[in-house]
Chains A and B, each alone.
Chain A
Amino acid sequence: MTMTTKPAPAAAAGAPPTAGFLDRVLKVRELAIAAVLVLMLTATQLDNSAFLSQQGIKDLLLNATILVLVAVGQATVVITRNVDLSVGSVLGITAFAAGDFLHGGGNPVLAVVIAVAIGAGFGLVNGALVSLGQVPALVVTLGTLYIIRGLDSIWVGSRQITAADLPSGFVSFGHDGLSVIPYLALLTALVLVAAAYYLRSYRSGRDLYALGSSPEAARLAGVPVRKRILAAYVTCGALAGLAGALYLARFGNVDSGTGNGYELTVVSAVVVGGVAFTGGSGSVYGAALGALLLTSINSVLPSIGVSSVWVQAIDGVLLLLAIAVDRIVALRVAGLLRKRAAQTRSATHG
C-alpha cells in the first residue's frame, strides 16, 4: 500500500497554496489566542518592566493552573454538546474535604486522591442525570451546582481551613517549583497533554467529538452515547476535584464560599479558547489557552495601572469577540472548502 495517498497530493498539486493555508486556518483558533496572549504580555512588559520578573512569571503560571485544569475538564464535556455548571461547587467542596482530611493529620497524597474521588463521584451523578434523564445539561448541572453548594454550606458551616492547619510540605508544594515553573503548573501541563493526546488518539476520545457533532448519527454509528457522556462528566468532575486539592495547596485558605461563581469563568475560558458550545469542535489546548488568557488579564490590568473593576467587562468583551471570530472563521473556511472541492473535482476529472 505505497500509493494509497495519491489522490490528495495530486489535488494539492492542482491548487498549491490552498491546502496548506486551509489547514492553518482550521487551526488558527489556537494560534489566534496564543498571538493575543503573547501580544498582551509583551505590551505589558514594555510598559512595566517588572511585570515578567521571575516572580511575575511564576505568579502568572500559578494563577492559571487551577483554571486550566477545570477548563480542560469542562472542554471535554462541552465537546460532547453538554456543559457542567457544577464545577465551582465541586472545587469548593473537594478543597474543603482535602483540607479537613489534612487537618486531621492525613497523608497529603491521599488527600489529593480523596479530592479527585469526590469530584469524580459528583461527575458520575451529573453524567448519570444528563445521559439517562433526557434533561438538558444546563438545567441538570445548574441543579447540582446549588445542591453541592448547599451540602457544602451545611457541612462546613462557618468553619475555615487555613494554611496553618496544613502540613508544611503540602503548602510548599503549592508554592515552589523548578526555577520559574511551579510544580502545580507542571502537573497541570501533564494532565493537559494527556487529555489532548487521549482525545486525539483514542477511539473513545474521537467518539466524544462524534457525538457532540451529531448525537443522532452517533447513535446510528453504534457509539455508546451514554457511556461516553458519563465518562466525560466523570473526567470533568475528577479534574475539578484535583483543582480543588491544588487550590488548597496554593491558597491554603478554604471556606464554604470557595469556588463560588467559578463556573462562569471556566465556561468563558473554554469558549474563548474556541471550543464550540454546539459541540464537536475545539481542543483542550484551546481551552487551556483561553484560561491562560483570562487569568493573564487579571494580572495585566493592575500592573499597567488599570483598576481591576474593569476585569469582568473585559472578560465579557473577549467572550463576544471570540464568538464573532469563530463565526467569521467558519464562513471563511466554508468558502475555502468549496473552492478546494471544486478544484479536487476538476483536477481528477480533467
Chain B
Amino acid sequence: MTDPAPERTPVLALEGVSKSFGAVRALRDVSLELYAGEAHALAGENGAGKSTLIKTLAGVHRPDAGTVLLDGTPVVFHGPADARDAGVAVIYQEPTLFPDLSIAENIFVGRQPRRSFGRVDHKAVREATAALFRRLGVDLDPEQPARGLSIADQQLVEIAKALSFDARVLIMDEPTAALTGSEVARLFGVVRALREAGAAVLFISHRLEEVFALCQRVTTLRDGAWVASEPVAGLGEDDLVRRMVGRDLDELYPKQDAAVGDVALRVRRLTREGVFTDVSFEVRHGEIVGLAGLVGAGRSEVARAVFGVDRWDAGAAEVDGRPLKPGAPSLAMAAGLALVPEDRRAQGLVMDMSIERNINLTGLRTTARAGLMNRGAERSRALDWAVRLQVKYARLADMVGTLSGGNQQKVVLAKWLATDPRVLIVDEPTRGIDVGTKAEVHRLLSQLAADGVAVLMISSDLPEILGMADRVLVMHEGRLTADIPRERATEETVMAAATGRARSAA
C-alpha cells in the first residue's frame, strides 16, 4: 500500500478488519482511510461486503479482527450511539424510519433540541426539519407521519437525518438508488458543500457515473476482500468495472428487436384522487415501455393501482381485453399481470422466510399438487431462478433478510419472473443491483419482450430507460405529459417533460 499523502491522519479508518456471519466471510482483512475534505467511493458487486463495512464503521457490527481508528487512535464503538457521538452520520442502504412518528421526529430522534428542564422543543424540531428540507429542495410536510412514504421520500428523509448533525464523517450506502437526476444533483450540491467545509464522505452507488461525479478516491471490494484504493481521476468506468467484477463486461443495455404485437395492457383515463389524474396508455406484446418522471410524479402509484394493490377512483384497465377490477390483485395475477414492487422490504419479500419460500410465494398454484405443497418442484423452481439471476447466497434455505440489498432485489425479481407473466410491470427493477447483474436483468427483460411479454418499466435511472425502452411515457405531478418514441427519446426531451417545462404531445 503506497500512501500518497502520508502527512495527514485519516479522520476515520479501518485497519485489517474481518467480519464473518456464520460461514459467510463478509469482510476479509479490509483497510480503508477516510480523510477530511475528501469524498471516498466504495465499489463492489452485490454481496461484496460494502454494507457490512459501513455497519462496522457505524458501530452496528463489531469486527471479528482488526481495528477502527478515529483520528489515528483505535476506538471501539459499542453501538450506533457511540459512532454518532464521535461525529459519524450514516445513511443505511434500507431506510429505517419510525412509521408512527412524524417526519420531523424521525430526523431528530434522540437528539431533539431542548428547552428548559430538558424538555423537547417540538417547535424547534419542526423548524429545523423545514430548514433542512429547504436546503435539500424537498417538499415534504415535517408534521406528516412517516408511514406510507415512498422509497424515494424515505431516502430523502434519511438524507436529511444524516445532514441534520454537523457530522465529521458522512457515510451514505446507496442514498440515490431510488432518486432521479434532479434530486441527486441537489444532494450532491449539499454533499460537496459539506466536503469543502471539511467533512469526510464515504459514498456507495451502483451508478458508476455518480461515483465519478462526486468522489476523489475509490476503494474496491470483491468477495469481502480489498482489491484496490486509488484516485478516481485517470480511472475509466471500464477500469472500475474490471476491478469489481474481475473481467470485462458485456453491453449494459442489450436491447433485442422484438415483433410488436397486439395491445396487452390498456389503461384508460385512470384516476386516483389526489395521486394521479386521467392517465391513459397502452403497452403492446413484445414492447418495453419506460415510465419516467421525478420522485413523487405518481409512477409507482399508477403501477400499484393497475395491479390492484391500491384502488382507483375512475377509469378502466384491461389485460388482453379482459377488464381488471380496482383493488383485486389476485384477479390481475390470474389475468397474467405481474408487478415487481419498489419497496422490497415492505412489499416485495417476507424477510424472515427462506429464499426458496419467497420465490415460491407466487407459484403455489403451479407447484402444488392436490392442494398440497410439493417441496421438490418448489426447490427446482427456486434454484432455477436464483441461478438465472445470479443471486449470491449460501443455501436456498437461508433467510432472505440476511442477503445483501442487491441480492434481495434479485429474489424479488425472481419471485415475479417465475410467474410467467403476459404483462410485467417492474418498479425500479435494478435498484441496488450491481452493473454486472444489471446487464443480466436487462438481457432478461429484453428476452421476455422478444418472447411476446409486454413490459412496463418504471425507473429513476434515466440511462436505463433510454437504453431499454421502445417508448418512453413521462409523468409530471400525477399526469402523463409525454409519450416519446425511442428515436426521439433523449435526456433532454424526457427531462423537459418530467419537470413540466414542455408538454410534448407525441
Nearest A residue to B97 via CB reads A217
Whole-angstrom distance between the alpha carbons of A6 and B96 in the complex? 28
Contact between chains at A203 and B120 (CB < 8 Å):
yes
Contact between chains at A202 and B119 (CB < 8 Å):
yes
Nearest B residue to A221 via CB reads B109
B84 proximal to A (CB < 8 A): yes
Nearest A residue to B145 via CB reads A337
Shortest CB distance A350–B (Å): 8
Contact between chains at B145 and A207 (CB < 8 Å):
no
- Give chain B interface residues in 449-497, CB to chain A under 8 Å: 477-478
A24 proximal to B (CB < 8 A): no
Which of A239-247, A300-308, A310-318, A340-348 is found at the contact surface with chain B?
A: A340-348
Shortest CB distance A150–B (Å): 35
Contact between chains at B96 and A216 (CB < 8 Å):
yes
Whole-angstrom distance between the alpha carbons of A136 and B141 in the complex? 36
Chain B interface size range: 35 or more
Chain A interface residues toward B at CB < 8 A: 1, 4-8, 11, 200-203, 206-207, 209-210, 212-214, 216-224, 279-281, 334, 337-346, 348-350
On chain B, the residues within 8 Å of A6 by CB distance are 130
On chain B, the residues within 8 Å of A217 by CB distance are 96-98
Contact between chains at B126 and A203 (CB < 8 Å):
no
Which residue of the partner chain, among A11, A206, A349, contacts B109 with CB atoms under 8 Å? A206
Which residue of the partner chain, among B82, B133, B140, B275, contacts A338 with CB atoms under 8 Å? B275
Contact with A along B76-114 (1 / 0, CB 8 A): 000111101000001010001111110001000110101
Contact between chains at A345 and B109 (CB < 8 Å):
no
Whole-angstrom distance between the alpha carbons of A214 and B98 in the complex? 6
Contact between chains at B274 and A7 (CB < 8 Å):
no
Whole-angstrom distance between the alpha carbons of A8 and B60 in the complex? 35
Contact between chains at A210 and B109 (CB < 8 Å):
yes
Contact between chains at B110 and A334 (CB < 8 Å):
no
Main secondary structure of the interface of A (DSSP, over half): helix
On chain A, the residues within 8 Å of B79 by CB distance are 219, 222
Shortest CB distance B257–A (Å): 38
B406 proximal to A (CB < 8 A): no
Whole-angstrom distance between the alpha carbons of A340 and B145 in the complex? 12
Contact between chains at A342 and B478 (CB < 8 Å):
yes
B248 proximal to A (CB < 8 A): no
Contact between chains at B114 and A203 (CB < 8 Å):
yes
Contact between chains at A209 and B100 (CB < 8 Å):
yes
**How many residue-residue contacts, CB under 8 A, span A and B?**
124
Closest 4 CB pairs of A and B: A222-B81, A339-B274, A280-B100, A217-B96
Most buried by B among A200, A217, A218: A217
Q: A206-B112, A342-B478 are in contact. Are A220 and B80 (CB under 8 A)?
A: yes
Contact between chains at A4 and B127 (CB < 8 Å):
yes
Chain B interface residues toward A at CB < 8 A: 60, 79-82, 84, 90, 92, 96-101, 105, 109-110, 112, 114, 118-120, 122, 126-128, 130-131, 133-134, 139-145, 147-148, 273-275, 296, 477-478, 500
Contact between chains at A207 and B274 (CB < 8 Å):
no
Shortest CB distance A274–B (Å): 12
On chain B, the residues within 8 Å of A7 by CB distance are 130, 133-134, 139, 141
Q: A280-B101, A345-B139 are in contact. Are A220 and B114 (CB under 8 A)?
A: no
On chain A, the residues within 8 Å of B144 by CB distance are 337, 340-341
Which residue of the partner chain, among A224, A344, A349, contacts B141 with CB atoms under 8 Å? A344
Nearest B residue to A350 via CB reads B477
Q: A223-B109, A224-B81 are in contact. Are A5 and B60 (CB under 8 A)?
A: no
Contact between chains at B139 and A348 (CB < 8 Å):
yes
Contact between chains at A207 and B110 (CB < 8 Å):
yes
4 further contact pairs, Cβ within 8 A, besides A202-B120, A216-B96, A221-B80: A201-B120, A210-B98, A219-B80, A345-B477
Q: A4-B127, A206-B109, A206-B120 are in contact. Are A280 and B98 (CB under 8 A)?
A: yes
Shortest CB distance B251–A (Å): 37
Shortest CB distance B347–A (Å): 15
Contact between chains at B141 and A8 (CB < 8 Å):
yes
Whole-angstrom distance between the alpha carbons of A220 and B98 in the complex? 11
Whole-angstrom distance between the alpha carbons of A13 and B241 in the complex? 51
Nearest A residue to B119 via CB reads A201
Whole-angstrom distance between the alpha carbons of A207 and B296 in the complex? 30
On chain A, the residues within 8 Å of B273 by CB distance are 339
Whole-angstrom distance between the alpha carbons of A214 and B100 in the complex? 9
Contact between chains at B99 and A280 (CB < 8 Å):
yes
On chain B, the residues within 8 Å of A203 by CB distance are 110, 112, 114, 118, 120
Shortest CB distance A211–B (Å): 9
On chain A, the residues within 8 Å of B140 by CB distance are 341, 344
Nearest B residue to A2 via CB reads B127
Whole-angstrom distance between the alpha carbons of A218 and B106 in the complex? 10
Contact between chains at A213 and B100 (CB < 8 Å):
yes
Contact between chains at B143 and A334 (CB < 8 Å):
no
Contact between chains at A222 and B97 (CB < 8 Å):
no
Most buried by B among A1, A281, A341: A341
Contact between chains at B114 and A5 (CB < 8 Å):
no
Shortest CB distance A191–B (Å): 19
On chain A, the residues within 8 Å of B147 by CB distance are 334, 337
Which residue of the partner chain, among A202, A218, A224, A343, contacts B274 with CB atoms under 8 Å? A343
Contact between chains at B80 and A8 (CB < 8 Å):
no
Whole-angstrom distance between the alpha carbons of A328 and B117 in the complex? 39
Nearest B residue to A212 via CB reads B100
Contact between chains at A342 and B275 (CB < 8 Å):
yes
